[in-house]
Amino acid sequence: MSPRILLLGGTTEALRLARRLSPEAIYSLAGLGRVPDDLPCQVRVGGFGGAEGLAAFIREQGIELLLDMTHPYAAQISANAARAAELSGVACWALRRPGWQPGTGDDWREVDDWSGLVAELRDFRRPLFTLGREPLEHLHEIPPHQYWAVRCLTAQEAVPRAKIIGARGPFDLHGERALFALLGIDVLVSKNSGSQSTEPKLQVARELNVPVLLLRRPELPSVEREFVSLEALAEALQL
Ligand code: NAP
């Protein structure tokens, strides 16, 4: 018999795995995005209240295997998952998607945080931000020589020197080329998520010789088993 699974989601791969789970399994979402209503397993939404809260949930629900399939930049929940597994004595397996790697001729620069990013952006005029909502908190700080394009999950009205685009991946090459051309993008800003569904923007940057600023990946905890792909994880689960 398969173990009772708690799947921590937030990625495309997690949703794809959730579609293969049995009715006893629980799929958990933070609640920032869309909540699917057509899954074969149970779905719960919202935080647990830290590692202790997650450990209590694991015990209450008789969970036997915790799967961390959250985003590579969601460092808090991954740390909580590793700690909660220790506290409750269950195994934790994780999908640890490898980051993107630059190819020949790519101008990729890694930055540690927002202030490092702002410093590196100084010589550019038309950045495209694709790292979530953080730039929206800094719209009042746009330097006079810059016009920002910010792509995130929810749209918002344009401000004088920024366009905010609400869009959800996957993004294809054709659409990304059109976006770069329309907005005259001269630098791309991104997390290094390693996701195939958002990779085409990197190819467009390569084609146009546009530099890419990447926010450095956070450290994630080591857990009992780590997988680099959904397929490898699903195979280990015999799903
Ligand atoms: P985070 O900073 O690591 O987590 C913040 C808090 O959100 C956690 O401490 C936890 O609350 C709750 N949480 C996160 N994932 C959860 C889940 N699957 N089920 C229940 N509670 C969850 O993460 P974040 O960066 O805010 O991201 C939130 C979610 O969006 C994650 O599931 C992540 O996979 C997804 N996401 C994140 C990014 C990104 O760039 N950060 C991109 C795409 C998707 P409690 O401590 O109260 O349990």
pLDDT, tens digit, 9 for 90 and up, residues 195-216: 999 999 999 999 999 999 999 9
Question: 48 CB less than 6 Å from ligand 1?
Answer: yes
Structure tokens at 140: 């009042």
Residue of 35, 70, 133 to mutate, ligand 1, most atoms within 8 A of C-beta: 70
Closest of 202, 223, 220, 199 to residue 211, by C-alpha: 202
pLDDT per residue as tens digits for the range 4-19: 999 999 999 999 999 9
Atom of ligand 1 nearest to the CA of 76: 3
Atom of ligand 1 nearest to the CA of 10: 34
* Strands annotated E in 38-192: 42-45, 65-68, 91-95, 108-111, 127-130, 148-152, 162-166, 187-191
CATH topology for 5-98+218-236 is Rossmann fold (3.40.50)
Q: What pLDDT sits at residue 2?
A: 82
Lowest mean pLDDT among 76-85, 88-97, 120-129, 154-163: 154-163
Strands 5-8 and 26-29: parallel
62 Cα–ligand 1 center, Å: 22
Question: 175 CB less than 6 Å from ligand 1?
Answer: no
For 2-25, give the DSSP string: PPPEEEE--SHHHHHHHTT--TT-
Sorting pLDDT into bands at 50, 70 and 90, what band is 155?
confident
Whole-angstrom distance, CA of residue 224 vs CA of residue 86: 10
pLDDT per residue as tens digits for the range 36-86: 999 999 999 999 999 999 999 999 999 999 999 999 999 999 999 999 999
Strands of 65-68's sheet, edge to edge? 42-45, 26-29, 5-8, 65-68, 91-95, 225-227
Question: 51 CB less than 6 Å from ligand 1?
Answer: no
Q: Does domain 108-215 have CATH number 3.40.50.620?
A: no
Atom of ligand 1 nearest to the CA of 28: 19
Structure tokens at 20: 């293969």
- Report pTM: 0.94
Atom of ligand 1 nearest to the CA of 191: 40
Judge whether residue 157 has pLDDT over 90. Answer: no
Question: 8 CB less than 6 Å from ligand 1?
Answer: yes
Sorting pLDDT into bands at 50, 70 and 90, what band is 34?
confident
* Ligand 1 atom 9: residue of nearest CA: 77
74 Cα–ligand 1 center, Å: 5
Two domains, one topology: 5-98+218-236 and 108-215: yes
Domain ranges of the chain: 5-98+218-236, 108-215
CB 41 within 8 A of CB 66: no
Burial class (CB within 10 angstroms; exposed 0-12, middle 13-18, buried 19+) of 204:
buried
Judge whether residue 219 has pLDDT over 80. Answer: yes
Single-letter amino acid, residue 20: R
Q: Tell me, rounded to whole angstroms, the distance of Cα 20 from its chain centroid.
A: 21
Residue located via tokens 């935080």: 47
